[in-house]
Amino acid sequence: MERIPVKPKIEYYVMEEVPSDRYLRVEITQLRRGFGVTIGNSIRRVLLSYIKAAAPVYFEMRINGAIVQHEYQGLEGIYEDVLEIAQNIKQIKIVFPENHSETRLRLSVNKKGEYKAKDFETDALVKIINPDQHILTLVKDMEVEIDILFKWGIGYVDAHENMERMQGEFTEGTVIFVDSLHNPVEKVNFDVEDEAGETGLEEYDRLILEIWTDGRVTPEEALKESIAWLNDYYSMLSIAVDSGVEVKAPIAEVASLVAEEEVKEAEVASEENSMLSMKIEDISDFTPKVVNPLKKNGINTVGDLVKYSKSELKSLKGVGPTTIRIVEEFLAKYNLSLKEDK
């Protein structure tokens, strides 16, 4: 019996009200029963964790020639503080060729007024996806310079890890590191429907994927990259199995070794999928109306958030039904949930 008797078909659909570089509906038909969930879940996990994109790593800031040395330094003549400016810089989304490992954006101004991402100087190879992203507001004429380093990466990298990765490549007290939000995929839904074969006797799965991105990659590019990840691993495993695997442990020890490996894989998968260390202010789904009451109640990360049940969140000052709904929708995207009510 052939393993795949019928070649799967794939079709793309877009919505008129959503740009095609931000949303895609994918339907994969004629999959053997059970493979819809298997393939859909695998692709979704890769899409949410392993699609590469560029993000800010650190920035240098000078005011009238003087270096801003840390994020808690007071600023005169600027409406925002350094922490707010850092938060705004983290949200800048750009695209540049992958054969360039990094690039820089530079802002040099001397007049009072509001400045946005579009005011940064770029070369012809760089495209700013969100040019209207607010950066800072000068309340008087003064010289301000900001240089931002962008690098390619995967997933979420906090500021401390960025600093450790770049030891020896910067002078302490001259740059401010930020959390890097590399993942360009904002949301992935998948569903599986029953499908009859041409004769009406066969039963197949129809896999429906919906992919939303922030514009740094298109959903189609993200889908292709996720499949490439899976294909690379399956190809390596196939080669390894075909070439023979040396047994290095007595049969009696295999069960315990497998159990240990399963625990390790579960721990790694949990860390990769949950993003528990992500700060809530870095979550694009969360508006200030969601973030502020949570932070006032001591909830600073996703890890803090999942320690609460729905009823416990309801009891917090300033946290209403709308905030809880937004929180639950976000957690569901990463296979997470609030703590169960007792």
Helix axes 35-49, 219-242, angle to 10 degrees: 110
The rounded distance, in Å, linking the Cα atoms of 290 and 25 is 29
Tokens of 128: 């700013």
Q: Which residues pair with 11 in a beta bridge?
A: 27
> For position 120, what pLDDT does the model report?
96
Q: Model-level pTM greater than 0.75?
A: no
Tokens of 176: 């401010």
On the question of pLDDT at 245 being above 70, the answer is no
DSSP state of 68: P
Region of poorest pLDDT, from 11-15, 245-249, 290-294: 245-249
> For position 249, what pLDDT does the model report?
54
> For position 257, what pLDDT does the model report?
56
> For position 24, what pLDDT does the model report?
93
3-state DSSP assignment of residue 159: helix
On the question of pLDDT at 251 being above 80, the answer is no
3-state DSSP assignment of residue 164: helix
Tokens of 135: 């950066």
Q: Name the average pLDDT for the chain.
A: 86
The rounded distance, in Å, linking the Cα atoms of 97 and 82 is 30
Residue with tokens 């802002």: 107
What lies within 8 Å, CB to CB, of 89 at 6+ separation is 56, 59, 135, 146, 148, 178
DSSP state of 248: -
H helical segments located in 213-320: 219-242, 251-274, 288-296, 302-305, 310-314
Instruction: Please check whether residue 138 is in contact with residue 132, taking contact to mean a CB–CB distance below 8 angstroms.
Output: no
Select from 315, 73, 153 the least CA-distant residue to 323.
315
> For position 259, what pLDDT does the model report?
63
On the question of pLDDT at 116 being above 80, the answer is yes
The rounded distance, in Å, linking the Cα atoms of 231 and 243 is 18
Helix (H) or strand (E) holding 165: helix 159-165
> For position 72, what pLDDT does the model report?
86
- Count CB neighbours of 16 within 10 A: 6
> For position 223, what pLDDT does the model report?
96
pLDDT in tens, 226-241: 999 999 998 888 888 8
Instruction: Please check whether residue 163 is in contact with residue 61, taking contact to mean a CB–CB distance below 8 angstroms.
Output: no
pLDDT in tens, 43-73: 999 999 999 999 999 999 999 999 998 888 8
The rounded distance, in Å, linking the Cα atoms of 283 and 213 is 14
On the question of pLDDT at 84 being above 90, the answer is yes
> For position 152, what pLDDT does the model report?
95
Burial class, 109, CB count within 10 angstroms (exposed 0-12 / middle 13-18 / buried 19+): middle
Burial class, 211, CB count within 10 angstroms (exposed 0-12 / middle 13-18 / buried 19+): buried
Instruction: Please check whether residue 57 is in contact with residue 178, taking contact to mean a CB–CB distance below 8 angstroms.
Output: yes
Per-residue pLDDT, averaged over 148-165, amounts to 92
Domains annotated for the chain, with CATH where assigned, are 1-51+186-235 (3.30.1360.10), 54-181 (2.170.120.12), 280-333 (1.10.150)
Under the banding of pLDDT at 50, 70 and 90, the label for residue 195 is confident
Per-residue pLDDT, averaged over 134-141, amounts to 96
pLDDT in tens, 10-47: 998 888 777 778 999 999 999 988 999 999 999 999 99
On the question of pLDDT at 189 being above 90, the answer is yes
The rounded distance, in Å, linking the Cα atoms of 142 and 155 is 37
Q: Among 8-22, 79-93, 300-314, which range has the highest average pLDDT?
A: 79-93
> For position 273, what pLDDT does the model report?
52
> For position 46, what pLDDT does the model report?
95
The rounded distance, in Å, linking the Cα atoms of 178 and 282 is 11
Instruction: Please check whether residue 310 is in contact with residue 338, taking contact to mean a CB–CB distance below 8 angstroms.
Output: yes
> For position 48, what pLDDT does the model report?
92
Per-residue pLDDT, averaged over 123-148, amounts to 95
> For position 177, what pLDDT does the model report?
94
State the Cα torsion 242-248-251-254 to the nearest 10°.
Answer: -90
Region of poorest pLDDT, from 125-139, 215-229, 259-273, 315-329: 259-273
